[in-house]
Every structure is written in C-alpha cells, then in structure tokens.
Amino acid sequence: MQDKTAAPHYQPPGKRGEYLVAIQFLLIFGFIALPVMPTIPNSLALFIPEPLRWSVLILFSATAMIFGSLGSRHLKEVLTPLPYPVEHSRLITTGIYSLVRHPLYSSQLFLATGWAVFSLSLSHLLLTLFALAFFSFKASREEKWLTLRHPEYANYRKRVKKFIPWIY
C-alpha cells in the first residue's frame, strides 16, 4: 500500500484552499439569493438618481466582465479553482495582471458593488463588504503560496495593487 503522505506533492484536503473555494461559492449563491433590502433611506435615492445608478451598474458590470475574461484568458492552462498554484504554474504580470494582482476576485467585487449601488440594497452592500474582507484574506493566502513558488512575486506585489488599479 502506498503512503500518500510520502508523495512529494501530496496535500491533505483543505491545504490547497478547497474550503476557501467552497466559501466563495456560498458567497456568490448567497448574494444572488439575498433579498434586496432597500433599508438605505429613500432620501439617499435623491443623491443617487436612477440614471446614475444605471450608469454605475453598467460601468461596474462591464469592468467585471473585462477583468474576469482577461484574467481567465491570461491564465489559460494554469487556471485552477483553487488558490494553491498548479505545479506547472508561471508568474503572469502582463495584461490585466499589470493593473491588478487578482482580476478574477476584482470582477466579482465590481459586479457586487454595481448591484448594491443600483439596487440601493443595504443587505447587498454589507455582503459586498464581507466579500471584500473574504477575498482579501483568500488573496493573502494565495500570495503566500505564489511567493513560495515564484520568489519574484514579492516585487510584483509591491508594484501592482490587489483589486482596484492604482488604489487597492
């Protein structure tokens, strides 16, 4: 009988971020199922009129689609649902990855923010803030693994923001 722990690349369940992916999917489905709770005062709607809310939704949705599609396309064969890098990974720092380190997480945050603003939903805004904290945690775990695999990641991290170009 072969001992799995003796294999050079064996990782016990959960050690490659499987639980983080499960939480991410729960967040996505929870966001979709969450009822719109427009508990933001109606007077706020005067400061964010409907045409502006539509503009935010369209702009943030388009940004999410661009970040998500370019992020996926640049990763190609190293794309994995897990935050733990695949064995044949390479460090990608060009294209959308020259603007943000985690465009796939950014895309979800942009989409969620656009919907929260459009719907004036306090429940969606709070879940979006929770998602920001979650993705920050998940990205920090992923970045530790990437730095171990690619030591030059430390310099890349200093140059490029995490989720929002030039800001955060």
The per-residue pLDDT string of the chain (168 residues; one tens digit each, 9 = 90 and over) reads 444 444 445 555 667 888 999 999 999 999 999 998 876 566 666 678 889 999 999 999 999 999 999 999 999 888 888 888 888 889 999 999 999 999 999 999 999 999 999 998 889 999 999 999 999 999 999 999 999 999 999 999 999 999 999 999
Distance of CA 70 to the CA centre of its chain: 13
pTM of the model: 0.85
> Residue 113 carries which side chain, given as an amino acid letter?
T
Q: Where are the domains of the chain?
A: 40-78+97-168
Indicate the DSSP class of residue 38: -
